[in-house]
């Protein structure tokens, strides 16, 4: 498994946080509205936020995986 460089990991953390903040702001719900949600819906939204946070990591890992695959393929 390829380990992402430290700089890329930091960029992914910032991107994941920014994506979540933008989606929360675009949703237009206040904290009191979030607290009034049923527990199952709140758990679903929090789970979705975790998945959204990791999307930049997944995209970078796929990019590096493809890049490494082409680097090995061209050595033939």
List pLDDT tens digits, range 3-54. 888 999 999 999 999 999 999 899 888 888 888 889 999 899 999 999 999 9
| 44 φ/ψ sector (left φ>0, alpha ψ -120 to 50, else beta) | alpha
What is the model's pLDDT at position 69? 80
Question: Coil, strand, or helix at residue 70?
Answer: helix
Sign of CA dihedral 39, 40, 41, 46: positive
């Amino acid at each position: 498994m390829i380990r992402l460089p430290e700089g890329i990991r930091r960029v992914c953390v910032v991107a994941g946080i920014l994506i979540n903040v933008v989606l929360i702001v675009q949703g237009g719900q206040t904290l009191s509205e979030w607290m009034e949600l049923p527990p199952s819906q709140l758990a679903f939204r929090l789970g979705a936020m975790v998945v959204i946070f990791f999307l930049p990591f997944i995209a970078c890992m796929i990019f590096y995986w493809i890049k490494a695959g082409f680097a090995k393929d061209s050595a033939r």
